[in-house]
Amino acid sequence: MDSGQHAEPRRSGAFRTILSLLVMVAFVFGLSWALRTFVFQPYEIPSGSMENTIMTGDMVFSEKISYYLRDPEPGDIVTFQDPEIPGRVLIKRCIAVGGQTVDLVDGRVVVDGVALDEPYTRGLPSEPLKTALGVEVSYPYTVPAGHLWVMGDNRTNSNDSRYFGAIDEDTLTGRAALVYWPFSNFGLLD
């Protein structure tokens, strides 16, 4: 046998190996993209606006499946596009949905005439904030259809709907479901 007969099968075997590897890498990248786009997205929490529920520096997963199956509800911790800074994502708690009326009375949040029981605020008062330029919020405030009223759990350190108004449901990127890092803070969010 001459060496020319063996070279062809080796080349084709190497080509198949490289092609298989490229297909596998493309599959992994495609699967990763699909999971991040349609199933879940990791986020690092940059500020203390949700303390003590979620701490600065915590890493959370925001899942997207819930909102394919149901509408956002009061109490959900949601991630959404920042109404002021394109490309930035914020995380806050949904307090009221379209059609509900929000009021701030003596440091308490009142929705449809009922004061909310909010143990996650650690008793911090919920006072009105100076609003963003071009935003008008007066109380009582009726949330427009297709919008959400969101607030940080750390009410004295959160620019939220008191500042930028109700957010459009179309800006939601998911529902925060799990703190996964640091492991000492690991747990489901509610």
Instruction: Give me the active site residues, please.
Output: 49, 92
Tell me whether the omega of the peptide bond preceding residue 74 falls within 30 degrees of 0, making it cis.
no
DSSP at 25: H
Task: Looking at the chain, list the stretches that DSSP marks H as alpha helix, in order from N- to C-terminal side.
Answer: 3-38, 66-69, 161-164
Cα-Cα-Cα-Cα torsion 52, 55, 97, 87, nearest 10 degrees, comes to 160
Q: Which amino acid is at 9?
A: P
Are 107 and 126 in contact by the 8 Å Cβ rule? The answer is yes
> In this structure, what token pair is assigned to residue 171?
């800006």
Are 190 and 177 in contact by the 8 Å Cβ rule? The answer is no
> Which of left, alpha, beta for 81 (phi over 0: left; psi -120 to 50: alpha)?
beta
Residue 111: how many CB atoms within 10 A of its CB?
18
Residue 176: how many CB atoms within 10 A of its CB?
27
